[in-house]
Structure 1
Amino acid sequence: MTTQIAHARKLCLSLLTITAACVSALPASAQQAPGKSFVDDFDKINRGFWYVSDGWNNGAHQNCTWSKNQVKVEDGALQLSFADGKSKDRNYLCGEIQTTKRYSYGTYEARIKAGTGSGLNSAFFTYIGPADKQKHDEIDFEVLGKNTGEVQVNQYVQAKGDNEKLVPVGSKADEGFNDYAFIWEKDRLRYYLNGKLVQDVTDPSKIPSNPQKIFFSLWGSDTLSNWMGRFDYTKPAVLSVDRVAFTALGDKCQFPESIACTLN
């Protein structure tokens, strides 16, 4: 993704998504302390823990409106969907959730099946930005619809990105569940795919430092075809999340298969 596209997309996210979340989530004073270790198997959506985006989009590049109706739990997994549906000036609806708390150094893990469709983006990431009176920091896993055989890893430090790397999944990310994880430390950031180390960042200038919220989203674009593929909607798509966990540094791993158990 080019720097210009990345900056525009993330600036819109900070000004729209985060602003709206802050209105409906916890008081600012309650959000400052980093969140504790947790695991969520999505038997239900805990509305005190998760904020469901609803009623806006992140800018001209996004061709769908976030809708709470595109977020549900079914068959023991979180389901974020992309479907046709008129809302304001958009012809599609899409789903996103984010934590109400911020999280700091530790292990972040999610078991995900990506959505199917060129022009779609299935994302698991952490983010904080200007609406939270913080610099833009971010850590990403993104499956781009043009090629679901790869996942893009990336991070932003004070709004500076250009750290993209495409990693082969070994299969199609939209045909089955895969385990995505990153271990974030002050002087090191490691990305894992199905338990295998795929990116190891040790340059301090490329490692975020601000506590961030955890996001899952499925969205589309008519304009970012070079990055996400030409948008070609044929039927509704679904991003499924079987589990998400965060293990703070020094804490016990949160579930037996956790990469935090393997490495400790």
Structure 2
Amino acid sequence: MTSRGAVLGVLTLLLMACCACGSTPGTPAPKPSVSGDWRLVFHDDFDGSRLDKDRWTTCYDWNEDGCTISSNNELEWYQPRQVSVGGGKLTITAQRRAIRGSDGEVYPWVSGMISTGRDHWYAKPRETFTYGYFEAAIRIPAQGGMAPAFWMMPASRFTPPEIDIMEFLGTTREPSMFVHWRNAEGAKRKQGEIFTAADFSDDYHVFAVLWEKDKLVWYVDGVERFRVTASERIPHVPMEVLINLAVGLPHAPPSGTVSARMLVDWVRVWQR
């Protein structure tokens, strides 16, 4: 009897420990943190040894031996080798290494990204979504001059609209959340929120957005941080999911910085 009781006690402690582990920000919950009848339609836990190419590509839709967003004056040229999977996580690495892009420009940094979009301009996107709950557990880099982002762009390949679920623009303490749209005259507009908190590079944090026909709601670690309900600002088109580590927004990294890493534990997309 004593031996059996000891075993039961150990099992109880192990169960309690597992439950505690399941409540940490970097561990996926069985359901999203918002109420409702949800169905998991897309997910990646990055448990293998390489990126799942059926789920992800490593560039924008305008991929020509790499890519960037030239209109932002970013310092990086995205390359597939800067994305790796191992140890139960995705790693995106930015490195100070000069490279000439297919656009003829020389970029002082290489970095990585993943997208559910196309391999090139005329291909079919891997996955697109219209409405849902989108979340990812991400640990941002600690280095300055980096701009990690988790966001969505239209399958039409033209923005706006655009949903920025999370952006850190040269900081590790101020996540930005934005929606971009065009008004009735066709002019670009945006609305967003930035709040200051503890250093987000210290651990994984869960960034999410609820996108429905009548609202957009942003969450950080399960806490609502921003909401948009104006009808003309809500997208109603299929969109791709992207995660990337841009460099040089809004300022270049310090001269002594030679690399930075962005870690992704998991990605989830839920729909009703």
Q: TM-score, normalised by structure 1?
A: 0.73
Q: What's the offset of the Cα at 1:40? A: 1.0
Question: Secondary structure of the residue that 1:37 maps to in structure 2?
Answer: strand
Q: What's the offset of the Cα at 1:134? A: 5.5
The unaligned stretches of length 5 or more in structure 2 are: 1-39, 60-64, 101-105, 117-125
| 1:53-202 equivalent positions in 2, closer than 5 A | 53=59, 55-59=66-70, 61-88=73-100, 89-99=106-116, 100-128=126-154, 132=156, 136-140=160-164, 141-145=166-170, 147-158=171-182, 160-168=188-196, 170-202=197-229
Question: Is 1:42 aligned with 2:72?
Answer: no
Structure having the higher Rg = 2
Q: What's the offset of the Cα at 1:135? A: 5.5
**Contact residue 118 and residue 144 of structure 1 kept, 8 A:** no
Q: What's the offset of the Cα at 1:90? A: 1.2
Residue identity in the other structure for 2:263: S
**Contact residue 55 and residue 67 of structure 1 kept, 8 A:** yes
Question: Secondary structure of the residue that 2:191 maps to in structure 1?
Answer: coil
Assess, with a 3 A threshold, how the Cα gap between structure 1 residues 66 and 195 changes in structure 2: closer, same or farther.
same
The unaligned stretches of length 5 or more in structure 1 are: 1-35, 251-264
The 10-residue stretch of structure 1 (153-162 or 37-46) with the greater mean CA deviation from structure 2: 153-162
Q: What's the offset of the Cα at 1:205? A: 1.5
Identity of aligned residues (%): 26
**Contact residue 64 and residue 94 of structure 1 kept, 8 A:** yes
Q: TM-score, normalised by structure 2?
A: 0.71
Q: Quick check: which one's helix share is greater?
A: 1
RMSD (CA atoms):
1.9
